[in-house]
Each structure stands twice: as C-alpha cells, then as structure tokens.
C-alpha cells in the first residue's frame, strides 16, 4: 500500500462517494436512527413513568411493570415510526432497531459482569432492563420490519407493472 491512491485515511470512511459512485449509506443512517430512537424512547419513559406510577399504584407488581413497559414503548414507537411514513427507504429505520438490540446486548453483558458480586443491584438492573428494553424492540422493531417488508412487496409489484 505504498501507492498514494490505494492509501485509505480515516476521513474516507465518512464520505458518501467512492470512485465517483454513491456508497450505501444504510449503516450511517441506521446508526443515526438508533441514536434518535434511544433519545425518543428515553424521553417517553422519563415523562410517562411518573404519570403511570400513581395510576398503577394499587395493581399487582407484574401488571404495573407491564403497563409501565408497554405504554411508553407504544408512544415511543409511534413517534419513531414517523420517518417510515415520510421516507421511501425503510431499511435503515429497521436496522436502527437492530443496532439498539446490539447495544442492549453489549450493555447487558457489561452490567452483569460488573454487578456479579452485588446480587441486589443486579436484580434491580435486570428488572429495569426487562421493563425498558424488550417492549420498544418488539413493538417498534417489529412494526419497522413489517413496514419495510410491506414497502418491498409494493415496490416489486409496481416494478412488475412497469
């Protein structure tokens, strides 16, 4: 790689063109979606948990946790799925959820390793993790996957008629 034309620099990774042709920006867009989703879901949980806590105070803990997990996840998913209605390329939006799943798995692994000696803290973390992670991934990620696949079918059908 002594030839200057073959030498890659770090700034080349962030360019959207290579050899005059557009590179796929799916990875860049999907990571951006993941960060946006984390912010939206974090805000949904932050604002709605305080509203839902008094409403679920007399309920069994399992039902209270389920409501505390699902309601903010639905609100966050509705907000996060807006780009799927606005933009034609739905694949990066779905892969944003894949990135969140990967981040969550890495975070879970790290926290279990760090809290292995403190059982009380680990149980609190796992309870919060189960409340806050699966619902957004299942509701938002499942909806994004469905909308992406549906748009691909519509796209293929419209190509058949051209």
Residue 104 lies in a domain: yes
| Tens digit of each residue's pLDDT (9 = 90 or more) over 69-106 | 999 999 999 999 887 888 888 888 999 999 999 999 99
Residue 5 lies in a domain: no
Domain span at residue 78 reads 24-160
Residue 85 lies in a domain: yes
Written as one string, the DSSP assignment of the chain is --STTT---GGGGG-SEETTEEPP-HHHHHHHHHHHHHHHHHHHHHHHHHHHHHHTTTS-HHHHHHHHHHHHHHHHHHHHTHHHHH-S--HHHHHHHHHHHHHHHHHHHHHHHHTTT-HHHHHHHHHHHHHHSHHHIIIIIHHHHHHHHHHHHHHHHHHHT-
Residue 57 lies in a domain: yes
pTM of the full structure: 0.78
Residue 17 lies in a domain: no
Q: How many domains does the chain have?
A: 1
Residue 7 lies in a domain: no
| Tens digit of each residue's pLDDT (9 = 90 or more) over 39-75 | 999 999 999 989 998 998 889 999 999 999 999 999 9
């Amino acid at each position: 790689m002594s030839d200057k034309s073959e030498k890659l620099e770090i700034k080349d990774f962030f360019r959207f063109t290579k050899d005059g042709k557009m590179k796929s920006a799916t990875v860049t867009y999907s990571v951006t979606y993941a960060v946006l989703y984390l912010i939206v879901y974090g805000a949904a949980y932050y604002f709605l948990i305080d509203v839902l806590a008094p409403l679920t105070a007399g309920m069994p803990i399992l039902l209270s946790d389920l409501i505390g997990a699902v309601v903010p996840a639905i609100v966050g998913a509705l907000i996060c799925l807006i780009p799927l209605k606005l933009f034609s390329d739905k694949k990066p939006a779905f892969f944003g959820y894949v990135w969140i799943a990967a981040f969550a798995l890495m975070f879970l692994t790290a926290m279990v390793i760090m809290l292995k000696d403190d059982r009380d803290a680990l149980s609190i973390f796992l309870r919060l993790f189960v409340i806050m992670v699966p619902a957004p991934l299942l509701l938002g990620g499942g909806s994004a996957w469905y909308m992406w696949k549906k748009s691909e079918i519509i796209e293929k059908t419209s190509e058949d008629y051209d």
